[in-house]
Structure 1
């Protein structure tokens, strides 16, 4: 999910200062977990040594775009990332590119933590199902078409 480059200083400074930020992700790369116009996420600065498979991180790509994707794997070369609505893995990502970690999702006035057991199970299963995501996403979309809020 991409964030506008113009927000670079504010978001990164707030995270660096230890603040928890709340943003509205753009794009569909994290569907079905996140839908633009419907969901907001909370992000905090994270201890990069504790980042693990399944964590959703906010990072800055080489070309300057902020992206919110899930850790697919971690190696000595860096992090490999993938959006929940994607099959292509991006990486290796330098640890210095990571800005923060998603800690909660807010949807329809309710929040759930990324530590919630149901969320953890969903995340693990969704990573395993990566090769089948296009078919699964099509089925989900047919059952529940995108409904963006204004």
Structure 2
């Protein structure tokens, strides 16, 4: 067995593997950036123009059991998604299978599709927050859920959401929600110090 094959098997075991569209049934043509236009997400505006015929097509593809691949825009899910670089792989899901910490695709009432992380779930509703936000959105209804993140494509590699490292980091980051502004200030300080040296 070649070293490359051993490395690939290790990455697959860790939930990280070179992307193979055939293996995970991704629709690579669904890469239009305007699908998740989240430029106004921080101030919670809902007056964005979205190609509804295209987003309806995405919702139909999810219902049919396809896994879609999209590039989220904006910074509300940073550092999980870096705009223009990372892609989200999403599949259809039922509300009953969701849990705190899952990243889901949902539709705001008469508005856009949004990809955020679940902060809290109750019997018939849920609350969401972006990884780069502190404000919680909700309550939202079960019928607003369209799909669930199953993995991230970064630099040609598929990172499974069941990856142990991903689960630890995302769980810790969710718990640190109230302290995120402090974390960003500390990060910015270290970057400035690094540039000086």
- Give the alignment's TM-score, normalised by structure 1: 0.89
Q: 1:76 — aligned with what?
A: 123
SS in 2 for 1:92: strand
The 2-side partners of 1:129 and 1:30 are apart by: 14
Larger-Rg structure: 2
The offset of 1:120, in angstroms, is 0.7
Distance in 2 (CA, whole Å) between partners of 1:134 and 1:118 is: 23
What CA distance in whole angstroms lies between the structure 1 residues aligned with 2:173 and 2:180? 8
Runs of at least 5 residues in structure 2 that lack an aligned partner in the other structure: 1-34, 38-49, 193-197
Correspondences of 1:87-98 after superposition (within 5 Å)? 87-98=134-145
In structure 2, relative to structure 1, the CA distance for the partners of 1:9 and 1:144 (3 Å cut) is farther
Higher helix share: 2
Where relative contact order (Cα < 8 A, 6+ residues apart) is larger, the structure is 1
Q: Tell me what 1:3 maps to.
A: 36
Moved over 4 A (4+): 141-145
Going from structure 1 to structure 2, the CA distance change for 1:141 and 1:15 (only over 3 Å counts) comes to farther
Quote the offset at 1:76 in angstroms: 2.5
1:77 and 1:92 in contact (8 A); partners too: no
What RMSD, in angstroms, separates the aligned Cα atoms of the two structures?
1.8
Aligned residues: 144
CA offsets 1:98-149 (integer angstroms, 9 cap, x no match): 000000000111110001011111111011100011121344456679xxxx
- Between Structure 1 and Structure 2, the one with more strand by share is 1
Q: Return 5+ residue gaps in structure 1 as ranges.
A: 146-150
Shift, 1:86, TM fit = 0.3
Looking at structure 2, the residues matched to 141 and 78 of structure 1 have their Cα atoms a distance apart, in angstroms, of 36
